[in-house]
Amino acid sequence: MHTNRPIENIIFDFGGVLLDIDYQRTYDALSTLLKVNFDVVNLPSATQNALADFETGKINVETFIWNLQRLATEDVPIGQDIIKAWNAMLIGWNPAKFEFLLSLRKRYNVYLLSNTNELHLEWVYKDLKHNHGIIDFDQTFFNKTYYSHLLGFKKPDKEIFEWVTQDLQLDISQTIFIDDLAHNIIGAAAIGWQTYQHNPKEDLIDIFRNRLKLL
């Protein structure tokens, strides 16, 4: 990260930065359920397209489930089992991050920019309510949140970064974006956002305090 002016805007990715996730858990669960090797890189193009369309809100939950069910080599699993396997990647929260976000909001504009989908966001809201007593996540911890399936496009496409920049009227010289995936960082940097690629194995709060000097 290189800064020329003081940071005023912090934009967070969700999974892998704020929310603990493990993609392999979903790949393993779907492999077992569908009795196929659910290797996301080598999936049929129709399935890969369905994954992208679900993440950008172009298909609904039922169509998404059907696209996974059709991969089954034996008995077709029921929708609820597909949903459970799909959500297996979602692990949960380090509760310290809630106070961390609130402390940041006292000094910065804090935003969320996430590639997600209807099922994952539904899981997040239920988990926050049942395990943390939080029912107003978006309003409490962020100035504004952006979810790919509601916007209609996703990272790392240039359009999503430009859209957020315009929507918030951001001064990009005072904006930093935190994401765990290199291609998303590259996409944001391409339009001038300052960036930091977070390693999920590292302590985000410690990074903000000692490396980024933003806490």
In this prediction, residue 4 has a pLDDT band, given cuts at 50, 70 and 90, of low
Same domain? For 107 and 150 the reply is: yes
pLDDT, residue 62, reads: 98
**CA 180 to each of CA 82, 112, 157, 203: distance values in angstroms, whole numbers, following the listed order:** 26, 13, 16, 13
pLDDT, residue 215, reads: 87
User: Could you tell me if 107 and 176 are in contact, meaning their C-beta atoms sit under 8 angstroms apart?
Assistant: no
Same domain? For 108 and 51 the reply is: no
Look at the pTM and tell me if it is higher than 0.85: yes
Q: Which residues pair with 147 in a beta bridge?
A: 114
User: Could you tell me if 179 and 195 are in contact, meaning their C-beta atoms sit under 8 angstroms apart?
Assistant: yes
Q: Given a cut of 80, is residue 210 above it in pLDDT?
A: yes
pLDDT, residue 123, reads: 98
pLDDT in tens, 144-197: 999 999 999 999 999 999 999 999 999 999 999 999 999 999 999 999 999 999
Assigned domain for 129 exists: yes
Q: Which residues pair with 178 in a beta bridge?
A: 12, 196
In this prediction, residue 61 has a pLDDT band, given cuts at 50, 70 and 90, of very high
**CA 97 to each of CA 49, 73, 90, 124, 141: distance values in angstroms, whole numbers, following the listed order:** 34, 42, 16, 15, 10
Look up the CATH number of the domain holding residue 131: 3.40.50.1000
Same domain? For 79 and 101 the reply is: no
Q: Which residues are CB-contacts of 169 (< 8 A; sequence separation ≥ 6)?
A: none
pLDDT in tens, 114-141: 999 999 999 999 999 999 999 999 999 9
Same domain? For 108 and 189 the reply is: yes
- At 132, which helix (H) or strand (E)? helix 118-132
- What is the span of the domain harbouring residue 80? 23-89
- Total domains present in the chain: 2
Assigned domain for 150 exists: yes
Asked which of 70, 89, 108 is the last residue of a domain, the reply is 89
pLDDT in tens, 64-121: 999 999 999 889 999 999 999 999 999 999 999 999 999 999 999 999 999 999 999 9
Same domain? For 107 and 165 the reply is: yes
Helix (H, G, I), strand (E, B) or coil at 194: strand
